Amino acid sequence: MQDFADRWGFGPDKFWLRGERKKEIVEFDEAHGVWHLYGHPESSEVLLDTEHFTPDGTKLFEVDEETAKYFDGDLAQMNGPEHVHLRKQVIRVFNPRFMDRLERRIVELCDECIGGLGGRDRFDLLRDFVDDLAGIVFAELLGIPADDRAMFRMVDVNMDQTAMMTTVEGEDYFQKLTVPLQPLRDMIGEHVDERARNPREDLISLLCQVRKLNGDPMTRDQIINFIIGILGAGHLATPLLIGNTMLCLDSFPEQYERVRADRSLVPTMLDETMRFLTPGNATYRATLADVEVAGRKIPKDQMIRVEIGPANRDPRAFADPDAYDLSRNPNPHLGFGRGAHYCIGAQMIRVETRIVFDLLMDRFPVLHVDPEIPPVYFESPDFTGVKSVTVRTR
Ligand code: HEM
């Protein structure tokens, strides 16, 4: 069988997709001053240790006060007791009643979106279906009108184009990341003001009611930053997971047959895609003290790029790591992170993507990637996967 990475045209930067492994678990990139961490046990250890590592990257760059304001309140960049406190409160939005309602709504929306495809024998799985669905679901989570979701695309475009910390000096990076998002910030701000006056059962209302450790409410800017923070992962990564699963099923027809014959394998299939073709293939930590990782001494105030994609192919954690295998159990992949910063949207994503694949398999007895139209990929070095993939139903 043709090699997976060659078949789909993944470049050498995504080396783990070719079954290649780095000789060293820790590598220092002198040109950019970044430490790369490739192993699964070591990455888990770093992600679990909030005493020596923080996700707050702003502390490593000379970020001016104005730029720093754009990050205050972003849960994923916080650390310590304030993070634990805020996270505990925010997670309440995913309560059983909310999840139940969301699940019913996702089924309805999926039905509508698939119905909208009519009898077409070829369509773009993401652009014609999943992008819309993910946008509406996210808008409902936030509690904003579905029409406003068009603005979310600004985050996707921004993340696609922005070279990440490994290629741009710190301050430039922050400027590039924040400035183009001002119209989106303004739109979210209006919803925050409205929801502060008229709370409902949604994430923005909840954020308006949250109290910080000192008893103060979150500021308007902090709420906006929180939402911008989850838009990248939440809105962009969902279509990536669905598109990536499609590539995997197409490449491993025997696994595709298995899951078609036994739908109870759908959740396992999604976790195996999170491992095998990890959508968010890297995250970052800054060292809070001198540390030792995999026998290498890393000084305080250094940037570590935790290479989640390669870690998910570590043979020390996974037998036959380059096989896409729906029997894999357990599957301790790091695709949603680990420990204190474990993805708060993981449960929602599991529900959403399970419904999508159940419905797709119900509606289309045949569904495969169109061999005549190559998929289009996200260019960010931190994300892996498709932003457009044409499928055929015959
Ligand atoms: C397939 C979709 C998704 C993927 C692959 C993904 C991936 C991740 C990963 C790897 C982390 C850990 C980052 C780290 O430790 O540095 C994370 C954290 C996070 N994710 Fe997701 N995510 C997804 C969907 C979502 C959704 C839908 C939401 C919002 C509803 C969300 C909100 C968050 C938040 C707020 C955090 C930070 C949690 C904390 O720091 O306490 N994610 N996600």
By CB neighbour count within 10 A (0-12 exposed, 13-18 middle, 19+ buried), where does 356 fall? buried
Local confidence band at 100 (pLDDT 50, 70, 90 cut-offs): very high
pLDDT at 157: 67
Backbone angles phi, psi at 285, to 5 degrees: -140, 145
Cα 333 to ligand 1 centroid, rounded to whole Å: 14
Distance, CA of 326 to chain centre:
22
Ligand 1, atom 41: closest residue by C-alpha:
341
Distance (Å, rounded) from C-alpha 227 to C-alpha 231?
6
Q: Which of 43, 87, 141, 344 for a ligand 1 pocket mutation test, highest count of atoms within 8 Å of Cβ? A: 344
> How does pLDDT run across 285-297, given as a tens digit for each residue?
999 999 999 999 9
Cα 20 to ligand 1 centroid, rounded to whole Å: 27
pLDDT at 235: 77
Pick the atom of ligand 1 nearest to 47's CA: 15
Local confidence band at 211 (pLDDT 50, 70, 90 cut-offs): very high
> How does pLDDT run across 353-368, given as a tens digit for each residue?
999 999 999 999 999 9
Ligand 1, atom 27: closest residue by C-alpha:
234
Cα 121 to ligand 1 centroid, rounded to whole Å: 34
Q: Please give the structure tokens belonging to residue 134.
A: 């993910």
Residue 273 CB coordination number (10 Å): 26
Ligand 1, atom 9: closest residue by C-alpha:
336
- pLDDT greater than 60 at residue 327: yes
338's CB contacts (< 8 A; 6+ apart) are 43, 44, 47, 48
Cα 363 to ligand 1 centroid, rounded to whole Å: 30
Local confidence band at 332 (pLDDT 50, 70, 90 cut-offs): very high
pLDDT at 153: 73
pLDDT at 1: 46
Pick the atom of ligand 1 nearest to 75's CA: 40
pLDDT at 166: 43
Distances (CA, A) of 57 to 43, 81, 102, 175, 306: 17, 18, 33, 14, 13
259's CB contacts (< 8 A; 6+ apart) are 249, 265, 266, 269, 326, 357, 361
Pick the atom of ligand 1 nearest to 284's CA: 16
| DSSP reduced 3-state for 277 | coil
Domain coordinates of the chain in residue numbers? Answer: 4-392
By CB neighbour count within 10 A (0-12 exposed, 13-18 middle, 19+ buried), where does 164 fall? middle
Single out the residue of 138, 135, 136, 130 nearest to residue 114, CA to CA: 130
What is the length of the chain? 394
pLDDT at 76: 93
- pLDDT greater than 80 at residue 168: no
Please give the model's pTM, rounded to 2 decimal places: 0.94
Ligand 1, atom 16: closest residue by C-alpha:
283
Cα 222 to ligand 1 centroid, rounded to whole Å: 18
Distance (Å, rounded) from C-alpha 190 to C-alpha 253?
48
Could you tell me which residue, 113 or 306, shows the higher pLDDT?
Answer: 306
> Per-residue pLDDT averaged across 198-224, rounded?
95
Please count the helices (runs of H) and the strands (runs of E) in the chain.
16, 12
pLDDT at 60: 79
pLDDT at 176: 66
Q: Please give the structure tokens belonging to residue 61.
A: 């760059």
Pick the atom of ligand 1 nearest to 285's CA: 16
| DSSP reduced 3-state for 284 | strand
Percentage of residues in the chain with pLDDT exceeding 70?
94
Cα 217 to ligand 1 centroid, rounded to whole Å: 23
> How does pLDDT run across 218-262, given as a tens digit for each residue?
999 999 999 998 987 777 888 999 999 999 999 999 999 999 999
pLDDT at 171: 57
Using CB distances shorter than 6 Å, the residues near ligand 1 are 47, 55, 75-76, 87, 141, 230, 233-234, 237-238, 241, 279-280, 283, 335-337, 341, 343-345, 348-349
Domain 4-392: assigned CATH number: 1.10.630.10
